[in-house]
Structure 1
Amino acid sequence: MEEIVKLSLKSENDCFLIREVNRHVAKAKNCVIITGAGISCSAGIPDFISSDGLYNMIKSQYPGVFRSGKDLFDVQLLRTHDTIKGFNLFMGILKELIVNAKPTATHSFIKKLADMKKLKRVYTQNIDNLEELVGLDIDWQFERVKNCKAQVVQLHGTLSKLRCNACTNICPFTPQYCDIFKKGKAPNCPKCEERENTRAEQGLRPHFIGQLKPTVILYGDTHPKGLEISQIAIRDQNKADCLIIMGTSLRIPGVKILLRVLQERFMVVTVA
């Protein structure tokens, strides 16, 4: 049975618990970390479910369209004009917040573990890419599983990139595209537009021009690298000796499965 240390920053025993966490992390050699939105709130990125969170802001602009914050990420519901427009607006606002955000002390702590050769992997539910800003390696393609060099696994994708829904072309999520999303629209794929311009010059019939969508994983989506992530997690389970959970309530089903895989054989530190 794994040993579990839970740290609540509102606890009267903060000093004692922090010393306990320090003791466990100090003796660990291979830490695996699961992170959620809570570690980025102090960076200026609000969570989705609090009273002043992003969901309530979108809900006020689209009354009756979204019943819960989860609806904003439910691929099955993003089919009407209003839901798609609301989702695009949400992505534009969130991207703007991310661009202006700075890594937090928690991100620096994770980087410190990496510098001390104590970090095995970070599994993050966040899509803000702040880990990369502190110098952690992110490889969202996972071309190598056996000797995966990525220090960060992005479970829900990233808002740093956009993908065409027609030709699968990948583009950076630039401020120009951000402005379009903030209008409730999705930008056209530049590769598709270039192809169509060429076809028009040649007198050929037009083809469909795709739109750019954020490379995030929605409810109902299948993670394109889900198999690779599960294989990496199993390998990490065999090598890690400390699991640290920060800034997440672990309500997402996929994360619960990941936790069950990882916590079977080593000590768990939960920071709420």
Structure 2
Amino acid sequence: MGNFNLDFSSDSELSSVPPSPTLAARSSPEPAERYPTPSSQEGAEPAEGSARQARPKRRRNPLPKERTTQYLDLSKSLYEQNDEHNLLVQTLRHQKDIVVIAGAGISTAAGIPDFRSTDGLFKSLQKKHNLKASGKLLFDAAVYQDDALTAPFHEMVRSLSEEVANIKPTAFHQMLARLGIESRLKRLYTQNIDGIETSMGPLATEIPLNVKGSWPITIQLHGSIEKMVCQKCRYLDNFKPDMFKQADPPACTECTDNDNARQIVGQRSHGIGRMRPRIVLYNEHNPDEEAITSVMNADIKSRPRVLIVAGTSLKIPGVRRLVKSLCTMIRSRKDGVTMFINNEPPSGKEFDSCFDLIIKGSCDEVAHQVNLKSWESKDTTPCVYESSPEPIPRNFNSTDISVVVTPKKRPRADTGLATPSSHDEKPTKKPATKATNIKIENPASNGRSIQDIIKKEKAAAHKPTSKFITKPAPNPRPKKAATTAASKKRGTPAAPVNKIASFGRVTKTSQAAGKLSTKADGKPMQPVPAGASRNNGPLPKTEQPEKADKLNPESLPQPVASS
């Protein structure tokens, strides 16, 4: 057995006698943690267990926040677009892992025209070389199949190379170089062939690209005129404009040396290749296609934070797919931002939900508002910028100022007839105007009112009617009842004329016979069947001959024989 050091002193808990259950219940209540109900005493502090239970649980929002698109117009007042301007400046000053997809629009400020604008290369080359179609033919792979297109193509490439040699980088190029120095620019995909980006140290590239890893910052999607390549042996050399003054492509120097060496040894010739600018034309294979695909897939998997699409109209299918893929991935992040910078908005409904901010204006104006350090500065420490930057004022010309004159509001004129109000509501009185003072008569208001007609019918119903009942004529117009001579002598009023709809055929004889009719033997009048002879017959004899003698027989209606 092991040695156990047990202390049986009076202070030990083991030596004390356990209390009885009744005393334990009275003297020492159970701890408050077992009773989750609140204390009955006012002002009592809750126990630790109840306090933990009372803490509200944090609710997680499973649905992502809805993304909207904001618009920033650099030609308008930036003080009225403070939120959009702040998003632009703060993103380019502080965010990391930035991917830029650039087009020809970032080089227009340097004097190099773009392709598809009204003053672009497609229009200018068509006029210069009298081409039947657009100048796009000079950027097609068919230029080496037609001698009439090879000479203009060599002239265009040679003049472009000479212009680029004397051009300085624009403000947007310098901003990209500064982002590269600060290690915040992850990748630059450029569609330009001028090579201005790669002439700057922080944006240097590699030609050709390596398929497996260690890629440079700048990826040239369409090559550049800085290099020329042999179509046969793939020999790469710096571009020399003097070799492209003629229509025929120059011979490859590497192939020439190898062919001369083989002839000296006595081997057969393998042929001599032709040199061409290392730019990707329409309808031809890109030599760096496999490496560019590897770079794109790697950048999408790395989940960058910011995407900036600048100076491009997004007409190339491969660039469109890359933009949509990056926008979908970046907008899924909480801190991701996507921007589009160009003088015209992106075309196509597929880009409606791709960008958080669409900026209308030049790329150099964006760099002017961001106002980063110079890329030539040796200071690599991150700059501390203002938390809420103010827009930098621009020098406006007199043509930028426009005066807006608001037209005066004309007084409202009430024209037409006022509609009657519903129920018995009294219409509100309007101030008298020239239009309301003009009284326009309503043709439907001519004639007697409905109230007068109702009163006359009620009064006629209580008075005794004449012995003779008049039958109304089929004429729809109302006529006054003619008073007979007998009624004049007797002083009795004539019966009122009631309108009764006639359903039978109306003739002239029926109109004459139906003017006055009487009741015979107290029987009601019966309709005459169709085709039967119509005869009113003699008048019945009156029961009071004395009163009948007083009547004038000429005033009584005479029987009319029906035809």
Q: Which shifted more, 93-102 or 74-83?
A: 74-83
Of 16, 34, 43, the residue aligned with 2:110 is 43
Within 1, Cα distance between the matches of 2:108 and 2:290? 30
Aligned to 1:62: 129
**8 Å CA contact 1:72, 1:87 repeated in 2:** yes
Aligned to 1:137: 204
The answer to whether the aligner puts 1:268 opposite 2:335 as a matched pair is no
The answer to whether the aligner puts 1:248 opposite 2:312 as a matched pair is yes
Kindly report which structure 2 residues correspond to 1:16-27, keeping only aligned pairs within 5 A, or say none. 16=82, 17-27=84-94
Distance 1:180 1:54, change over 3 A: farther
**Number of aligned residue pairs:** 267
One-letter code aligned to 1:137: A
Within 1, Cα distance between the matches of 2:294 and 2:69? 25
Within 1, Cα distance between the matches of 2:249 and 2:77? 49
Within 2, Cα distance between the matches of 1:132 and 1:125? 12
Distance 1:76 1:185, change over 3 A: closer
Of 285, 294, 304, the residue aligned with 1:231 is 294
One-letter code aligned to 1:75: A
Of 6, 10, 32, the residue aligned with 2:75 is 10
Distance 1:201 1:5, change over 3 A: farther
Which TM-score applies when normalising by structure 1? Answer: 0.87
Aligned to 2:365: none
Mind listing any 5+ residue stretches in structure 2 that lack a counterpart?
A: 1-65, 331-336, 343-563
CA RMSD of aligned residues (A): 2.5
Distance 1:166 1:52, change over 3 A: same
Aligned to 2:278: 215
Q: Deviations along 1:7-53, whole A, 9 cap, x unmatched?
A: 55434548644432112223421000000111111222222334443
Within 1, Cα distance between the matches of 2:67 and 2:286? 29
**8 Å CA contact 1:2, 1:268 repeated in 2:** no
Q: Deviations along 1:50-70, whole A, 9 cap, x unmatched?
A: 4443334432343235x1233
Distance 1:117 1:2, change over 3 A: farther
Aligned to 2:555: none
Within 2, Cα distance between the matches of 1:124 and 1:150? 13
SS in 1 for 2:188: strand
Greater RCO (CA < 8 Å, at least 6 residues apart): 1
1:205 offset after TM fit, Å? 5.3
1:127 offset after TM fit, Å? 1.3
SS in 1 for 2:296: helix
Within 1, Cα distance between the matches of 2:325 and 2:233? 35
Q: Which shifted more, 222-231 or 3-12?
A: 3-12
Distance 1:243 1:145, change over 3 A: farther
Within 2, Cα distance between the matches of 1:271 and 1:89? 32
- Give the number of the structure whose alpha-carbon radius of gyration is greater: 2
Aligned to 2:99: 32
Q: Deviations along 1:83-116, whole A, 9 cap, x unmatched?
A: 2222222211221122222111111100111122
The answer to whether the aligner puts 1:75 opposite 2:145 as a matched pair is no
Q: Deviations along 1:114-173, whole A, 9 cap, x unmatched?
A: 122211100000112212222113123332544x34100100011111111121111110
Distance 1:212 1:6, change over 3 A: farther
Within 2, Cα distance between the matches of 1:48 and 1:184? 23
SS in 1 for 2:141: coil
Distance 1:142 1:209, change over 3 A: closer
Greater share of helix residues, 1 or 2? Answer: 1
The answer to whether the aligner puts 1:181 opposite 2:248 as a matched pair is no
Q: Which shifted more, 25-34 or 102-111?
A: 25-34
Mind listing any 5+ residue stretches in structure 1 that lack a counterpart?
A: none
Which TM-score applies when normalising by structure 2? Answer: 0.44
One-letter code aligned to 2:88: V
**8 Å CA contact 1:62, 1:82 repeated in 2:** no
1:235 offset after TM fit, Å? 2.0
Aligned to 2:188: 122
**8 Å CA contact 1:121, 1:152 repeated in 2:** yes
**8 Å CA contact 2:147, 2:247 repeated in 1:** no
Q: Percent identity?
A: 33
Q: Which shifted more, 256-265 or 9-18?
A: 9-18
